[in-house]
Amino acid sequence: MIKKFVFYTRVWVTLVAPFVLFLLPSDFFDKGESVCLSKMLAGMECYACGLTRATMHFIHFEFAEAWGFNKLSFIVVPLLFPLWLKAVFEVQGKQMPGLLGKLT
């Protein structure tokens, strides 16, 4: 019972999260202090610094701003799409077809 609840919660959050983030304004996460431990403790930015802000701008099609916050967003965001697609198939009780289905 608990295992099923965790499964469906994970899948539904994965499905709904992109739509909720798209409804928020693109600069929603731009304000505020950094919560990166690397930046707070060592004073150095890590590779993930700015990735949330860059992702928000990327999904709102503001590519110049996304590039300015973190260039890795152009790799990370497209890689999130197969995970979202997998959740769509899991809700239907199916396995993804093709190579992606075998890899995931």
- 49 pLDDT more than 70: yes
- Angle of CA points 4, 7, 8, to nearest 5°: 90
CB 86 within 8 A of CB 96: yes
Q: Please choose, from the candidates 76, 75, 84, 79, the residue with its C-alpha nearest in 3D space to the C-alpha of residue 16.
A: 84
pLDDT of residue 103: 67
Whether this prediction's pTM lies above 0.85 is answered by: no
Mean of the per-residue pLDDT values for the chain?
85
pLDDT digits (tens, 9 = 90+) for 11-43: 888 888 888 888 989 888 888 777 888 888 888
pLDDT of residue 33: 79
pLDDT of residue 80: 87
